[in-house]
Amino acid sequence: AQTVTQSQPEMSVQEAETVTLSCTYDTSENNYYLFWYKQPPSRQMILVIRQEAYKQQNATENRFSVNFQKAAKSFSLKISDSQLGDTAMYFCAPQLPKNKIFGNEKLTFGTGTRLTIIP
Partner 1 sequence: GAVVSQHPSRVICKSGTSVKIECRSLDFQATTMFWYRQFPKQSLMLMATSNEGSKATYEQGVEKDKFLINHASLTLSTLTVTSAHPEDSSFYICSASKREGDTGELFFGEGSRLTVL
How does 29-51 read in b/e, with b if 16+ C-beta sit within 10 Å?
eeebebbbbbbeeeeebeebbeb
* Contact status: 50 vs partner 1 (CB under 8 A): yes
> Closer CB to partner 1, residue 3 or residue 14?
3
Q: H helices within 25-116, ranges in order? A: none
CB neighbours (10 Å) of residue 59? Answer: 19
Contact 6, 110 (CB under 8 A): yes
> Closer CB to partner 1, residue 24 or residue 108?
108
Q: Looking at 43, 56, 72, 100, which residue binds partner 1 (CB under 8 A)?
A: 43
Binding-site string for partner 1 from residue 51 to residue 90, where x marks contact by CB under 8 A and - marks none: -x--------------------------------------
Q: Which residue ranges make up the site for partner 1 (CB under 8 A)?
A: 33, 35, 37, 42-47, 50, 52, 91, 95, 99, 102, 104-112, 114
